[in-house]
Amino acid sequence: MDFEGKIISREISELLWESEKTVATAESCTGGRIAEAIISVPGASKYFKGGIICYVNEVKENLLGVSHELLEEKTAVCEEVAVEMVKGACKALNTDYAVAATGIAGPSGGTKEIPVGTIWLACGTPEKIVTCKVEEDHGRDINLAIATNRAMQMLRDFLSAENTSTAETESK
């Protein structure tokens, strides 16, 4: 993990420690890299409950509750599936937050409609989820590194906003 990644992991750790909340991951194409980044900080067992590596649609459906119809209609590489993965991970692992990734890292597997390098990321709570689409192909390793870093940035920013709004509510 690069230096920036370590800083982001530390910031996520601090935000979760302060809020006493928990997080999980639901990862397809990233295969556990986001979970690895989260647990790189000592003491992560206080807030990280686990991750589900859902590389195939069967696991997305059976463990995360992603709709079979949605997967058939839109494929696994879409914003809606990433959102369902967040909801499913929160439910399956009983966490406050989750972060998810689904996409095509390459070098093959892409189509004209969904080219290699297309990765949907999502994070949040079952009620409030933000998403991000990564679209450039830089080769498998770099695609996965970019997706992991972007997912960690999203989670940090989401937690930061949540902590700020909670602090504002408590001060009123």
CB-CB contact of 86 with 129 (8 Å): yes
Give the sheet arrangement for strand 48-53, strand by strand.
48-53, 23-27, 97-103, 119-124, 129-134
pLDDT tens for 108-159 read: 999 999 999 999 999 999 999 999 999 999 999 999 999 999 999 999 999 9
Q: What are phi and psi of 120, to 5 degrees?
A: -95, 130
Beta bridge partners of 112: none
Evaluate if pTM is beyond 0.75: yes
The Cα 111–Cα 172 span in angstroms is 52
C-alpha neighbours within 13 Å on the C-beta side of residue 55: 5
165 has pLDDT over 80: no
The Cα 153–Cα 9 span in angstroms is 9
Task: Provide the b/e sequence for 55-83 (b: ≥16 CB within 10 Å).
Answer: eebeebbebbebeeebbeeeebbbbbbbb
